[in-house]
Amino acid sequence: MEPQVRGARPPRAGEGAGEVEAAGREARRVHEGHALRAAQYVRGVTFDGKTGEVLTDPRVRPEIDQAAIDEAARLDGYYLIVTSETGWDEGRILDAYRELWRIEESFRATKTGGLSSRPVWVWTTEHIRAHFLTCYLALLIVRLSQRALPSHPSAQALLADMRALDCSYADDGWWLFDHRTDLTDEIFALVDLDAPTKWMRTKDIKALFAKGKRIRWRP
């Protein structure tokens, strides 16, 4: 038998209040001839497979399944996690479940979050593999950065700030860096570099780049 973890949380104000009661009202509407999603609480009801309409049968009298309604109401606010990992304890199962959002965030980051894994503009097998390898190496760097940065930013926030790091040439060898946040300061501090100041000369930018080539990830 697969291990199960049961849990409950107090309902937040206005959230899910009376859901089963509302389903019970819908069940009564089904009983009256309206095919709604609460049909599970009505016995003796059949539906047209194409239209979803209630099919009347004079030989069968629909009845409200009050026992099913009461049972559903009794379990309101509880959730159940089923896993195939039979050797895990409850704490590890819950931790793994809570980490699922990171997988979803990874998909978002690789599709629409800035890493642009699709569309694929190459067509040979070697180039397609190289394209996705580059995307997933970039995702690995993002994930390692998220863990190492003190604020543990989301992938979207990290990628957005990194893309915004840019400068514009003003005049006489001066450049304007018009984007700086606490997160960009964290990024530079992570690799032991000072964040660019708002105004920098060309020679200072070159020196920053030269130092950046020699840096190592700070533990």
Three-class secondary structure assignment of 6-67: EEECCCCCCCCCCHHHHHHHHHHHHHCCCCCHHHHHEECCEECCCCCCEECCCCCCCEECHH
- The residue segments making up the domain with residue 112 are 100-151
Residue 107 lies in a domain: yes
Residue 87 lies in a domain: no
Q: What is the per-residue pLDDT for 201?
A: 93
Q: What is the per-residue pLDDT for 13?
A: 46
The pTM assigned to this predicted structure is: 0.50
Q: In terms of domains, do 77 and 133 share one?
A: no
* 175-205 pLDDT tens trace: 999 898 999 999 888 888 888 889 999 999 8
Average pLDDT over residues 26-47: 64
Q: Tally the domains of the chain.
A: 3
| Mean pLDDT taken over the chain | 78
* pLDDT confidence band for 158 (50 / 70 / 90): confident
Helix (H) or strand (E) holding 130: helix 125-148
> When comparing pLDDT for 174 and 120, which is higher?
174
* 93-128 pLDDT tens trace: 888 888 777 777 777 777 766 677 777 888 899 999
Q: What is the per-residue pLDDT for 174?
A: 94
Residue 89 lies in a domain: no
CA distance 24 to 70: 9
Q: In terms of domains, do 68 and 37 share one?
A: yes
What is the pairing mode between strands 46-47 and 54-55?
Answer: antiparallel
Residue 118 lies in a domain: yes
